[in-house]
Structure 1
Amino acid sequence: MKRDAALTPGAKKAGRGEYVFDFDRLGQIMGGPGYSPVFGGCVEGERMIVARMRAPAGKMGDPH
């Protein structure tokens, strides 16, 4: 089933023939609101989701 919009709020929905994305220019979304401080760009295709997430300095160094 084809979708016209991304399922993830704020993600970029890849269009036909789009294969290269500048993640720094995409909208920045939270990678795990409520449990993780990571953020970054996200692209959704028909069968795959790709994201590049970054953690704010000093936020991920605690042992877990």
Structure 2
Amino acid sequence: MSEWIKVSLMITVMDYDKLGSNDAIGRCLLGCSATGAELRHWMDMLASPRRPIAQWHTLGPVEEPEKS
């Protein structure tokens, strides 16, 4: 269980287009690197293994990669 304390999970929500490009809509970070509600959610999940802990999160911006 102690190894889960060091884990972070970046969730990216995508807009899937069959004929066009697939664009990232936003991101949410859960885990030890998160803050606020996302960190509390992660800690609740660690405190209650094998029990679903569902919660809504606000999506943050997706940083565009720098072009060289």
More helix by share: 2
TM-score of the superposed pair, with normalisation by structure 1: 0.27
Bigger radius of gyration among the two? 2
TM-score of the superposed pair, with normalisation by structure 2: 0.26
More strand by share: 1
